[in-house]
Amino acid sequence: MKSFQQNLLILLALSLCALCAYQWYGQTLQRKEIAGLNQLLYDKSAAVQSYTNSIKTMDRQIAQMDGRITELKEIAKTNDQLVLSQKRDLSRLQASNSGLTNQITEYKKAVESLETKIKDAYAGIKKQNDAMKELATQRDDFIKKLNDAVKDRNDVASKYNELVDRFDKLQAVGNK
């Protein structure tokens, strides 16, 4: 029986060793699986962290874009108002331009009319000047003729006076 107990003890020891080896092998597989799961968990955590950071960055970018969109909408409103104001000003200036163009046309017509009247008046003045020159020439000729006639009469009068003086002298000599 001693040998049976020893054999049983050896068998139990070997069984225990086999059980330990089997447990170690199982634990090694479990550790590998745990390490794989840990690596997977780490990768997923890193991905989640990356996605979280990406989401935060995108949130900031979205907020900036929203702000920029708001600014652009305000600028667009301002630009629309400015365009509308400029269109009004343009319409007003075009109307004013049209009115001023009409005024300029009227002024040109008036200037042309006045130029025509001035030319006519100038022609009339020139005719009057020519008539005045001719009249002055006629006057000068008449005065020259008058002066010649007066000179002739003065000569006749002086000859008459000389004759009268001679006659008076002759009568005075004859009366003495």
Please say if the pLDDT value at position 1 is more than 80. no
Percent of the residues in the chain that have a pLDDT greater than 90, as a whole number: 77
- At residue 45, what is the residue type? S
Check whether 174 has a pLDDT greater than 80.
no
Q: So what's the pLDDT on residue 169? A: 87
pLDDT at residue 57 tops 80: yes
pLDDT of residue 48: 92
pLDDT tens digits for range 85-144: 999 999 999 999 998 999 999 999 999 999 999 999 999 999 999 999 999 999 999 999
The helix/strand/coil state of 1 is coil
pLDDT, position 175: 72
Query: Per-residue pLDDT averaged across 16-37, rounded?
Result: 95
**Residue 124: per-residue pLDDT:** 92
Mean pLDDT of 78-86: 93
CA distance 172 to 176: 6
Q: Which residues of 129-163 are buried (b: 16+ CB within 10 A; e: fewer)?
A: eeeeeeeeeeeeeeeeeeeeeeeeeeeeeeeeeee
Give the pLDDT band of residue 2 (cuts 50, 70, 90).
confident
* Residue 123: per-residue pLDDT: 92
Q: Nearest CA to 157 among 149, 173, 169, 168?
A: 149
- Does residue 63 register a pLDDT over 70? yes
C-alpha to C-alpha distance for 107 and 99, rounded to whole angstroms: 12
- The chain-wide mean pLDDT, for the chain, equals 91
Res 176: pLDDT = 64
pLDDT at site 109: 93
Q: Give pLDDT tens digits for 151-168.
A: 999 999 999 999 889 888
User: What secondary structure does DSSP assign to 7-62, as a single string?
Assistant: HHHHHHHHHHHHHHHHHHHHHHHHHHHHHHHHHHHHHHHHHHHHHHHHHHHHHHHH
